Structure 1
């Protein structure tokens, strides 16, 4: 059996809305009175398209900071937003060692977030532009640092230079990360899908969401035809994505792609979170776990074995289709053929990165895959 495992963002669907939401999340986090409440401008749950573009440009330095994170194998938008906030805290606390002095509130509850915001506002905290954070990140994190080493670098800098202890809730997947995750998901899913997915009320209502505004990179009908042609040639199709389950289900139903896949082979961040809880270790990309789950099946009883003895489950040939260095590293760890597509954040500029990472094939679009997989 030959199995093709597709990433989603930057491969099947455009990443634009995800990165737009990254900017909106930071805007709300820093400015809304329901979070830190630092800004003077009026916050709204329905900004114009022009405002969204401007926010993304400011916070992410015309996407330069996003690209920098991606080059280190950081593939999750949730992790990117979290890193932005850590860098913003670190930059200002380096300038003013007393900025967080006497800090007793945390991020476990939303009331604690607002208390931190009140403290920072009283002490004159302002959010630096993405260009400043890019310079700081570059100075702290060496060029060849992989994802698993990025966060320890940040944690050390926060503790040594910023005087911020990790026990205050700043660790990866800790309370700060969780509050940012909730804010991001509310923007992306919108109020209705957020309630349906998490069975909880979002802190700041009024968002329609971007989940139903996705853009299929190869065209909806053309991509469906490609799926069917690959199946006709004897390939099994699977998904291995950093998106949560609902974020795959809704657009795949919208574009009539869902029926082309066996549900047991659509692995998402939802499965990764279950496995992390079960095994007690981080498993998002560039760990190949989500590709194992897509290839071998979403069977929770086997998750530990997928990590310890993946060779037991390997049957035939596996092909990963992705758009980032993290995907290439997953393919290498899995012993899979890597097809890199140039429809991610960096576009054609990613070619040199994929060549350096020794991707097996580099194509302009997901629709070019049938020319390789004969």
Structure 2
């Protein structure tokens, strides 16, 4: 008998579209801004129009083919999506430079990649590869050659660097300076100038970003979502959240929609809690989905020490008492590792096309949207 219901946010309650827009803009900035690689400095602005955002996302993610592959491989974090995409094009730039400069260019991939190294790449690009342009569509076939799943995808960048640049390196990983740079730049785009300092401890590198946090798109009408949550609470279910969003990006929009109050405050687990746990227990990183940490923490409560969360024996004994509601394979994989039930909502990036995948893996329930919970929870 189900007692606890843990919800993902993106693709379940809020549309993922703005997150994907922010991800595309982050990659675009890292590639084109003079603060980073500066491939075409006059192409960048911190305040693009909506038509520009649509064009940039279509280009950067190759009509969402890149996103489809990344999510199908179990990556749920937008920070990881940005890191994977930008790092791939950075490797391709080094490959081009190596053809002109030799091993000196490839050696840059031998250690941590920070702002100083990006500045060096920018100088070399202007001198030796001024016509370089990213081949956005090449990302998918290059990654399709391998079978890396989940966090292994980030490590697979090292294999691509070896194949394309002929260098042995382990610089590409979740625990890297470049990953942190990608994460902070994404936060600038999503939160905007006014809110970003509270998240990353500094102002935006390039002011003028208004942010998307105040421009969220609910998947179902807020009044209907509130009615759903109210009904579930009245039926005695404990409601929690396990999301890849940081805390501010979870609380602000859900509070604006008047739905945050229906969740147990001790069971609202965000990426901020994941990052804190990774700092405490780096040997267990990465802990982002599809790792089950978010949902185990939501099941046990924020008051539970992280030591108990990362070391809990899985699958749990009372798995039938927990239902996870998510839209992605990352959510499904987390649910299965915990041993609990899973309800897939067809409101993520792939929409109804995801049905066949969830049928293939035998999800417990497949719902057109989150409102379908009432049909399975009598």
Same fold (TM over 0.5): yes
**Cα separation, 1, equivalents of 2:375 and 2:102:** 57
How far is the alpha carbon of 1:101 from its aligned partner? 3.7
Which residue of 267, 270, 275 maps to 2:269?
267
Counterpart position of 1:298: 302
Q: Is the 8 A contact 1:20 1:56 kept in 2?
A: yes
Query: Which structure 1 residue ranges, 5 or more long, are not aligned?
Result: none
After the TM superposition, which residues 1-374 of structure 1 pair with which residues of structure 2 at under 5 Å, given as runs?
2-94=3-95, 97-98=98-99, 101-103=103-105, 109-124=114-129, 126-139=132-145, 141-142=146-147, 145-164=148-167, 166=169, 169-280=171-282, 281=284, 282-299=286-303, 301-309=305-313, 317-374=321-378
TM value normalised by structure 1: 0.92
How far is the alpha carbon of 1:170 from its aligned partner? 3.2
Q: Is the 8 A contact 1:289 1:307 kept in 2?
A: no
How far is the alpha carbon of 1:148 from its aligned partner? 3.7
**Cα separation, 2, equivalents of 1:27 and 1:246:** 24
Q: Secondary structure at the match of 2:192?
A: helix
Change (3 A) 1:283 1:128: same
Segments ≥4 residues shifted beyond 4 Å: 92-96, 103-109, 310-316
Query: Which structure 2 residue ranges, 5 or more long, are not aligned?
Result: none
1:19-72 Cα deviation digits (max 9, x unpaired): 111111111111111111111534211101110000001110110110011110
Q: Secondary structure at the match of 2:24?
A: helix
**Cα separation, 2, equivalents of 1:71 and 1:312:** 26
1:268-295 Cα deviation digits (max 9, x unpaired): 1111111111111211111111000111
TM value normalised by structure 2: 0.91
How far is the alpha carbon of 1:358 from its aligned partner? 1.2
How far is the alpha carbon of 1:97 from its aligned partner? 3.5
- Which deviates further from its counterpart, 230-239 or 128-137? 128-137
- Which deviates further from its counterpart, 200-209 or 158-167? 158-167
**Cα separation, 2, equivalents of 1:43 and 1:305:** 43
1:209-267 Cα deviation digits (max 9, x unpaired): 00111011011111111111001111110000111111101101111112111221000
Q: Is the 8 A contact 2:346 2:367 kept in 1?
A: yes
